[in-house]
Amino acid sequence: MNHAEIAKQAWEMMVRDDNPMPPGIARDWLMDNTEPSIEGGAAVQFIAFAAKTDALQARPSGTDGNMLCDCVGDLNLLAASSYLHAILTYYGPSQSKSDRAWIVWAEYAQKMIDLLRELQTVGV
């Protein structure tokens, strides 16, 4: 498996509902399971890219959320939070089924941003 595939596994372990892996442990697991080994900062970036890919695939439809996902991939979490707020402002008041899907996605995006913030704080 390549680094991206292993990072995807680390991300999936972080966001699973049952017994999620703490971000620092996921980063260490990624560093321990890649060959050649990667440094902490690169591990964080690989996990952020896996999160971005996951979020893009989970979007309900269209291109809304692209900028948020790009910010996640770049670990620009302040900007990602701003885009998330814009999505919630736009879709939040609506009760339509398609707009409700965006609210569910936004809840996932908030979890993603929170986990990546925690991952950044564990250091490199």
Q: Which of 69, 72, 44 is nearest to 57 (CA)?
A: 69
Instruction: For residue range 104-120, list pLDDT tens digits in order.
Output: 888 899 999 999 999 99
| DSSP one-letter code for 64 | T
- Residue 124: pLDDT above 90? no
| DSSP one-letter code for 62 | S
> Mean per-residue pLDDT for 10-31?
94
Predicted structure pTM score? 0.88
> Mean per-residue pLDDT for 69-78?
93
> Mean per-residue pLDDT for 66-71?
91
- Predicted local distance difference test score (pLDDT) of residue 118: 93
- Predicted local distance difference test score (pLDDT) of residue 123: 62
Q: How many CB atoms sit inside 10 A of residue 97's CB?
A: 8
Query: Rounded distance, CA 76 to CA 117, Å?
Result: 10
Three-state DSSP class for residue 3: helix
Per-domain residue ranges of the chain: 3-121
Tokens found for residue 70 = 């790009």
Percent of the chain predicted with pLDDT > 70: 94
Query: Rounded distance, CA 32 to CA 18, Å?
Result: 23
Q: How many CB atoms sit inside 10 A of residue 65's CB?
A: 22
CB 18 within 8 Å of CB 2 = no
